[in-house]
Amino acid sequence: MDIIQMARDLGTAIQQDPRYKAYEAAKEKNDSNLELQKRIADFHALKADINAEQRKPDADRARIQKMNDDLRDLFMSINNDPDMVAFEAAREGMDAVLDSINFIITAAANGKDPQTCPDTPPEMCSCGAGGCAGCAGCG
């Protein structure tokens, strides 16, 4: 089998994984949450306003502080939204899968046995960057 076709097959398998499906569902729910999307747009607009105010030679420090306080409150509101919390958890799950896949492929490309190398990059392992040599291993 051609290696590019194998990569395509892996992509198809990824899209069938429950973590991918959870990520896509959470993303869709986030995208359809109009109140959340408005807060995200407001956040970006306020951030741009802060940057514009800071560039002014006669920038109003009190106004910048108030805008920064509002930005922080908006940020917290966005990040505490249940849809955003679910999305972030699903995104982290997908990131972990992709990190593992990339780690295994990279290890194989560097001559390691892809069947026996760990599926968790050592820096993400509780053992630290030194790997699992001094402990019971990851996972």
Name the CATH superfamily housing domain 3-124: YheA/YmcA-like (1.20.1500.10)
CB 19 within 8 A of CB 97: yes
Residue pLDDT, tens place only, 24-48? 999 999 999 999 999 999 999 999 9
Per-residue pLDDT band at 19 (split at 50, 70, 90)? very high
DSSP assignment of 19-70: HHHHHHHHHHHHHH-HHHHHHHHHHHHHHHHHHHHHHSTT--HHHHHHHHHH
Res 127 pLDDT > 60: no
Looking at residue 137, its pLDDT comes to 46
- Domain ranges for the chain, please list them: 3-124
